[in-house]
Amino acid sequence: MALAALCSRFKKEENALLDVTAFVVDHKLRPGSTTEANGVVQQLQNLGIPAHRLDLEWPQGVNPLELPNLETEARRLRFRALGLACSQRKIRSLLLAHHRDDQAETVLTRLVAGRTSIGLQGIRPVADIPECYGIYGVYQSGRFRFLRECHLPREEYQSPKAPSPGFETGGVRVMRPLLRFGKDRLSATCAHWNVPWVEDETNSDRTLTVRNAVRHIFQSHRLPAALTKESISALSNRIAADVATYQEAADKLFGECQVEVNIRSGTVAVRFPDLASELKIHSKGSTIAAMLVRRAAELVTPEPEVSLQQLQIPVHQIFPDLFEDDCSSGAANKLYRRFTAAGVMFSRQDRSKEGHAAGEWWLLSRQIPSRDLLIPFTEINRFLPLKEQPFQLFDGRFWIRVRNPSKRRLTVRLSRREELSKFIKSLDYTAATRLSGVLQKVAPGGIRYTLPMLVVENADNSTEPMALPTLGFKLGGSQADGEWADLAWDVRYRKVYLPRPPKVDGIEGNESVMTSLLGPGHTEQHHIQHL
């Protein structure tokens, strides 16, 4: 209730144009939880905050208390319920009341699990909402930016049928403004304002979850000084500050890269700066280099997240001068023309003959599927008009919705050699020639087999290619004017991090100051960045 009380008081005392809505999650883990949740809803409404109860829906026939991964599954269902509730109400920022004690419990849990270094930075104060991957309007989506708004050139080679390309932006962001404050401080704040302190009874059951067991250890045992809440929080803060410093350096270098993004083929050409002089003497030079490469890889990878450990080979290949004195690198010192990592194909390019700046360029594309690699596919809902179709995240890269005018099963999947050849043959000479030229330019070699393709699956398991939606090409022949005449689609590239534009007059971003309302006598100020 402390966070709710702070928001209510801030809105009243500062006359802030703050629109606050509260959600109370009923996990349905014990009798009486709904009654308690309703009581909390009433208390929030007494503070002048509209509140809604969200009931978690566990799979039918499953007793959640018997699940070995109860904590993980409850977290997944909770965040998905919160994310959908935010999206339905057009809420972009979700404030959570995690405090310093929660941070200490998280870090100690990770220590027990064997995490080290960056893995101990704890709960992040600002992040995308977790556990909502692939939910449109919640996960990094919901707002559309045309290509011209992204400062990227419109391709001259696109098909006239191709819609104006662009990126998805938006999504729900999680903010935790109370991480610096302990539970005792927050409960005292509630007591000062006569606001009841509410706590879930299941938090005291040390056998229910690992976090509960860790909480019991903190409460019931005298731990060494290095394992007190204060020490662990200080450790987490130091690591988080170091990681932020490394990431800031990597982002600055990313801003110095020459980056050419092609969102129709999902590829990016990058010319990295020379890092040897800047990072070779830096104790964390390889970490900063990995963070830089991750920024580029995130533009094209189908994977939800890319870890720094996945990028050891790319860092050695792209920046070999950083490791020329490292005898332990071994085989990593051998340079390859192309290789894969984190779901990305890295290919060296010499583009000096094309009029580009001298130096080595890298073409990054989705890893080309092999026989051993499961090819993703997404089934399309039938009959609904295009604007009523839900966007679906295909292959982690493209948000796509399609109107299927047929009664046959239509799917989106990566193109295959035989289907692409059949599709080109269905086109008239002019369209086939144009498509062949487009493929040669934007999806050469095997990259064309990473393009999304609309495919009909027949009852006899045969398939018919219908369209290459990102390129704007639809099948030719009699079917194009018959059963599939009303086939339509809308494709948008997923949210990506592009190099930031330079500062204007020394100003970058936008901040506001929120005065602390944690009780009398406190004059701390907290900067909350508008995202």
Q: Taking the domains of the chain in order of start, what are their residue ranges?
A: 2-129+173-240, 257-299+303-366, 379-493
Burial class of residue 318 in the structure, from the number of CB atoms within 10 Å of its CB (0-12 exposed, 13-18 middle, 19+ buried): buried
With H, G, I as helix, E, B as strand and everything else as coil, classify residue 344.
strand
> What pLDDT is stored for residue 214 in this prediction?
73
Of the chain, the percentage scoring pLDDT greater than 70 comes to 78
> What pLDDT is stored for residue 308 in this prediction?
93
What is the torsional sign of CA 379, 381, 387, 390?
negative
First to last CA, the chain: 25
- Looking at residue 204, the DSSP 8-state letter turns out to be G
Nearest to 412 by CA among 455, 447, 375: 455
Residue 524: pLDDT band with limits 50, 70, 90? very low
Residue 327: pLDDT band with limits 50, 70, 90? low
Q: Which residue has the higher pLDDT, 379 or 521?
A: 379
Which pair of tokens denotes residue 85?
Answer: 């509730």
> What pLDDT is stored for residue 379 in this prediction?
74
Which pair of tokens denotes residue 286?
Answer: 């390889």
Is 66 a residue whose pLDDT tops 90?
A: no
Nearest to 164 by CA among 493, 448, 495: 493
Mean pLDDT (the chain) is 81
Query: Strands 463-468 and 473-474, how do they pair?
Result: antiparallel
Is 247 a residue whose pLDDT tops 50?
A: yes
> What pLDDT is stored for residue 121 in this prediction?
81
Q: Which residue has the higher pLDDT, 195 or 148?
A: 195
Is 302 a residue whose pLDDT tops 90?
A: yes
| 3-class SS letters over 158-184 | CCCCCCCCEEEEECCEEECCCCCCCHH
Nearest to 392 by CA among 469, 262, 492: 492
Domain 2-129+173-240 annotated CATH 3.40.50.261: no
- Whole-model pTM: value is 0.83
Which pair of tokens denotes residue 75?
Answer: 């977290």
Residue 294: pLDDT band with limits 50, 70, 90? very high
> Are the beta carbons of 392 and 400 closer than 8 angstroms?
yes
pLDDT digits (tens, 9 = 90+) for 224-235: 777 777 888 888
Q: Which residue has the higher pLDDT, 31 or 14?
A: 31
Mean pLDDT lowest for which of 309-318, 455-464, 477-486?
477-486
Taking each helix axis as running N to C, give the angle between helix 183-192 and helix 2-13, from 0 to 180 degrees, rounded to the nearest 10: 50
Residue 159: pLDDT band with limits 50, 70, 90? very low
- Looking at residue 441, the DSSP 8-state letter turns out to be H
> Are the beta carbons of 50 and 21 closer than 8 angstroms?
yes
Is 506 a residue whose pLDDT tops 90?
A: no
For residue 62, give Cα distances in angstroms to 29, 58, 71, 124, 336.
12, 7, 15, 32, 51
Strand order of the β-sheet with 93-95 is: 93-95, 173-175, 126-128
> Are the beta carbons of 269 and 257 closer than 8 angstroms?
no
φ, ψ at 279 (rounded to 5°): -110, -15
Mean pLDDT lowest for which of 197-211, 287-301, 421-435?
197-211
